[in-house]
């Protein structure tokens, strides 16, 4: 069995893996939904797009559900604080996601243009809103969230929903939205042909450029020093129990860059975040769509891990009481809980990956307009 400090780091890594898995697997579903009104010009073309993700979208939600459950079990203080502070934002995500199951199930039940157009709007909302909000949330994490604990360790959030929509957070929201849209476009290029494939490739190209430019701009904004990061200034006990108030934290302009200064190899992460999307669209335009999808996935992983590596060991910094900031060391569950969850993850994660891979292999191939027309009652 691993010791307590090691398990704390392992679960930081595992939750990062779950977030990346969610971005890659459910992200391309959301990207296709975001592109639905723009790439699909006719009802048949939109049905082609929907049928590329229809058999898989609900299975891909496992990454989202598992990630939320892992945060609840491994980081209970983070879960409680984040869902208190981001309550309305998370509720907006759930409201948007409600459109997906009913949209997939009911869109093609009636052959009526108005009926189908309404569900298309719903699928667009379900695909476009969550990535935007998740990106805005990450932007607020980098700036710090206004919360504090009282003497009884009861958390109080002092911000408002509209404070979340600050300029830097909107920029990170653009990064998130653009990278997911790019990822969906690359996936569409792999699963379709003809006009839909061409439009999807063009959309992915534009989204990749926006994602890379916005990602670099966010990094420059942080490096300029106008957004202060967080650094622990007191001794910490990595093997200690959860007690976020037992440390001192200072805010400095270079805090989010210190891990990169200490470990130069970490610069590979933002490099992958920039190079991956650009190479993905180049290969997609050259017809090598499967390799492009892999590189697109690496690009998403690079962008997400860049944020995680910058903030480590912080998970949820507090702007109103820096000393109450939640970190990998002081916001976790017990040693026994982390150990039990670790073995559950070791057993079930490979099973999920193997089953998902098998499903995609069985249902591989192009989805065409001819196929849609020939299988009117067996497709979405």
Domain ranges across the chain: 4-374
What pLDDT is recorded for position 154?
82
| pTM of this structure | 0.93
Give the residue among 331, 349, 339, 344 at the shortest CA–CA distance from 72. Answer: 331
What pLDDT is recorded for position 378?
66
Instruction: Kindly tell me the sign of the dihedral angle through the C-alpha atoms of 80, 82, 86, 91.
Output: negative
Looking at the DSSP bridge assignments, the partners of residue 230 are: 251
**Maximum alpha-carbon separation in the chain:** 68
Cα separation, 204 vs 184, in Å, equals 8
List, for residues 22-48, the tens digit of each pLDDT value. 999 999 999 999 999 999 999 889 999
Residue 34 burial (C-beta neighbours within 10 Å; 0-12, 13-18, 19+): buried
Decide which of 242 and 198 is more confident.
198
Q: Please state the rounded mean pLDDT for residues 5-16.
A: 94
What pLDDT is recorded for position 246?
85
Are the CB atoms for 329 and 242 separated by under 8 Å? no
What pLDDT is recorded for position 150?
83
Q: What is the mean pLDDT of the chain?
A: 91
Q: Please state the rounded mean pLDDT for residues 51-71.
A: 88
Q: Look up tokens 């360790």; give the residue.
A: 153
Are the CB atoms for 20 and 320 separated by under 8 Å? no
Cα separation, 174 vs 164, in Å, equals 14
Give the Å distances, CA to CA, from 277 to 118, 174, 300, 302: 32, 15, 8, 10
| % of the chain with per-residue pLDDT over 90 | 64
Q: Please state the rounded mean pLDDT for residues 277-289.
A: 95
Pairing of strands 326-327, 229-232: unpaired
Are the CB atoms for 70 and 35 separated by under 8 Å? no
List, for residues 123-164, the tens digit of each pLDDT value. 999 999 999 999 999 999 999 999 888 877 888 888 788 888
Cα separation, 145 vs 282, in Å, equals 38
Decide which of 20 and 380 is more confident.
20
**Six token digits for residue 368:** 């065409």
Stretch among 83-92, 254-263, 339-348 having the lowest mean pLDDT: 83-92
Phi and psi at residue 314, in whole multiples of 5°? -75, 140
| Ranges 70-74, 207-211, 225-229, most confident | 207-211
What pLDDT is recorded for position 256?
93
Residue 169 burial (C-beta neighbours within 10 Å; 0-12, 13-18, 19+): buried
Decide which of 273 and 348 is more confident.
273
Quick one: CA torsion of 110, 111, 114, 117, rounded to 10 degrees?
90
Model confidence at 301: pLDDT above 90: yes
Cβ neighbours of 128 (radius 10 Å): 21
List, for residues 161-177, the tens digit of each pLDDT value. 888 889 999 999 999 99
């Amino acid at each position: 069995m691993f010791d307590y400090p090691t398990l704390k780091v392992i679960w930081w890594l595992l939750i990062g893996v779950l977030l990346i898995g969610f971005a890659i697997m459910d992200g391309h579903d959301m990207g296709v939904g975001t592109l639905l009104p723009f790439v699909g010009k006719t009802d048949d073309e939109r049905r082609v797009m929907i049928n590329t993700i229809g058999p898989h979208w609900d299975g891909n939600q496992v990454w989202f559900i598992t990630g939320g459950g892992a945060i609840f079990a491994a980081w209970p203080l983070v879960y409680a604080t984040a869902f208190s502070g981001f309550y309305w934002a998370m509720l907006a995500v759930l409201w948007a996601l409600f459109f997906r199951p009913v949209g997939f199930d009911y869109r093609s039940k009636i052959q009526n243009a108005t009926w189908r157009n309404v569900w298309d709007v719903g699928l667009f909302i379900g695909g476009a809103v969550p990535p935007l909000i998740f990106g805005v949330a990450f932007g607020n994490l980098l700036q710090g969230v206004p919360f504090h604990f009282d003497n009884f360790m009861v958390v109080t959030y002092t911000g408002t929903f509209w404070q979340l929509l600050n300029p830097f957070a909107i920029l990170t929201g653009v990064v998130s939205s653009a990278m997911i849209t790019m990822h969906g476009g690359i996936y569409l290029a792999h699963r379709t042909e003809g006009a839909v494939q061409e439009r999807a490739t063009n959309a992915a190209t534009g989204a990749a450029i926006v994602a890379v430019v916005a990602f670099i701009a966010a990094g420059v904004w942080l490096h300029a020093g106008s957004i202060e990061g967080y650094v622990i200034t007191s001794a910490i006990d990595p093997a200690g129990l959860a007690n976020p108030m037992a440390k001192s934290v200072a805010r400095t302009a270079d805090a989010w860059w210190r891990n990169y200064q200490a470990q130069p190899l970490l610069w590979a992460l933002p490099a992958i975040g920039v190079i991956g999307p650009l190479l993905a669209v180049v290969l997609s335009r050259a017809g090598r769509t499967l390799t492009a999808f892999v590189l697109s996935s690496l690009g998403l992983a690079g962008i997400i891990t860049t944020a995680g590596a910058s903030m480590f060991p912080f998970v949820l910094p507090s702007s109103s009481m820096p000393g109450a900031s939640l970190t990998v060391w002081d916001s976790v569950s017990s040693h026994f809980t982390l150990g039990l969850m670790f073995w559950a993850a070791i057993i079930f994660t490979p099973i999920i990956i193997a089953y998902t891979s098998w499903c995609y292999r069985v249902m591989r191939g192009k989805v065409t307009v001819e196929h849609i027309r020939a299988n009117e009652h067996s497709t979405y």
